[in-house]
Amino acid sequence: MSSKRHPASRMAATDAMFWYAESAMPIFRPIIAGLYLLDGPLTPRELDHCVQRAIGAVPRLQQRVLEMPMHIGLPEWVHDEHFDVAYHVRHVSLPSGGRKRDLLDLTAALFATPLDRERPLWEAYGIEGLEGGRTALFWKMHHSMVDGVGSLAILNALSQPKPEVVQRRNNVGPKSRTHTVQPSAAARLARLASHNARESAKLVVRAATTPWQLMRHPVESAQEATRAIRGLGGALSDLAAPVIDDPIASNSCGLSRRFDIFDVPTARLKAIKAPLGVTINDVVLTALAGTLGRYHRHRRIHLESLNCMVPINLRSAKDAGALGNQVGTLTISLPVAEKNARKRLERIIEQTRAAKADHRGENYPLLAETAAMVPGFLLRWVAKQSLGKINVACTNVPGMTETRYMAGARVDAIHPFASVVEGTPLVMALLSYDGTFHIGIDTDPEAIPDPHRIAELFEDSLDELEGLSRRPVRRRTDTPSPTQERNAPPN
């Protein structure tokens, strides 16, 4: 493995929010993961080969987080002088003929354990013993390192579009280390001062050129300012959304995990959305609202709505493979009390259209940058106060259309997972891959003791929307924004 070092870099404000949130709430696990199901064996040597190649392609896998002295300024990503790949890659086995439920119970327990904050923030588990001679790879990463779309850079580095043969001798070799001396506190403070000076200079230049831009392009500048103001207003209204007290979440502590998975063919979702003139995200959110409405009625709980957090991808095409968190967020009110599927869909698209019109999700990085100017201890306090304001989260990651391979094994499915937290006992994640939407559900079993019902009720809600699609509502005539289109899976 190459021992080449990469220079330290300042953590982005959107990434630091997850780092600070964990230190504010030790029971919070800001971790995302992918469960790769393979059609055959993946030996420890083959897995090590794939991981070593990913390490060479993604330098962040050899970097750890270093806080600034007295928590002044954002943390840094620095080379881990004690990096040992053997610590991060583990090989485990299920009992012979292990079932899917055995695999999910194992990976849920692995997911619930925190990452070592003194090391690079990832772990990989090669899992043998699945029935039919199959294997799995479970890869978990800290959310400060990457978001769902950015994690595709890891998938790209781990896998290939064609199977390959790994030589008996592992040419990439193990664990060479580069022992380096970390810069002193004074040097790091000086680097912070230089960074802040550069950022301040950018602001000065921007402020100085704004009047000139207004004179040259008055109409465009006015329109841009209007959009920014509307978007900021929408983002602030999301933040100010009233807290909904869900009795189900009262038992949620955020420590326990239960994984469930299921698949939906992409063709099925397209067949539902096309006659209705909506997006796949609209279909998913409407189905989720129907699912939670049925589940709450089954538990004899009446609620009009639930707050759902929906991440929005803000990457441009050139940043498609970049790490870090380049996302905004929307708060969608799920009309769980509404039994009529058509009315549920109308209420969902009313909100998603409004969010697209004012571009509110795009203001989240600006809010994060502003928040980053306050001391770290205050950010921790803010993170702690946010508990319980979101009832459910749903993230949809556009993946790959082509089949991928790890060494000689075909990747049959990739199920994504994101963490539940106290007050938010259900997180649904979707990833499109090779003609299928693979869905991972993370639930807190103390709040939802029968999580298998969620997948069953989601299927029922999709059946209902299929029936509705044969009696379409009026077609939409508006055009989604480029940002929202990037967030949507391929049509």
Residue 3, both tokens: 């021992």
pLDDT above 80 (res 277): yes
At 209, the pLDDT band (50, 70, 90 cuts) reads: low
DSSP codes of every residue in 196-221: HHHHHHHHHHHHHHHHHHHHHSHHHH
For residues 143 and 212, the model is more confident at: 143
Can you give the pLDDT at residue 220?
56
- CA atoms of 12 and 64, how far apart (whole Å): 14
Instruction: List the end-to-end C-alpha distance of the chain, in Å, as a whole number.
Output: 40
Q: What percent of the chain has pLDDT over 90?
A: 50
Residue 437: which of 310, 270, 320, 309 has the closest Cα? 270
**In the predicted structure, residue 234 carries a pLDDT above the cut 90:** no
Q: Render the burial of 392-404: b for 16+ CB within 10 Å, e for the rest.
A: bbbbbbbbbeeeb
Token output for 209:
């050129």
Averaged over 52-63, what is the pLDDT? 92
CA-based nearest residue to 426, from 312, 332, 292: 292
CB 418 within 8 A of CB 32: yes
Q: Would the pLDDT of 201 be above 50?
A: no
> Mean pLDDT throughout 272-298?
96
Per-residue pLDDT, averaged over 473-478, amounts to 45
Give the single-character DSSP code of 424.
Answer: B
Q: How confident is the model at residue 203 (pLDDT cuts 50, 70, 90)?
A: very low
> For the chain, give me the number of helices (H) and strands (E)?
14, 15
Q: What is the pLDDT of residue 463?
A: 96
* Residues 440 and 264: beta-carbon distance below 8 Å: no
Mean pLDDT of the chain: 80
Instruction: For the chain, state the CA radius of gyration.
Output: 23
pLDDT grade for 260, boundaries at 50, 70 and 90: very high
Q: Which of 2.40.110.10, 3.30.559.30, 3.30.530.20, 1.10.357.10 is the CATH number of 219-399+440-487?
A: 3.30.559.30
Q: How confident is the model at residue 318 (pLDDT cuts 50, 70, 90)?
A: low
What is the average pLDDT across 189-212?
49
Torsion sign over Cα 187, 196, 82, 28:
positive
Averaged pLDDT for residues 167-190: 49
Q: Which of 315, 311, 325, 314 is nearest to 144 (CA)?
A: 325
pLDDT in tens, 336-392: 999 999 999 999 999 998 888 776 656 555 555 555 555 555 666 666 655 567 899
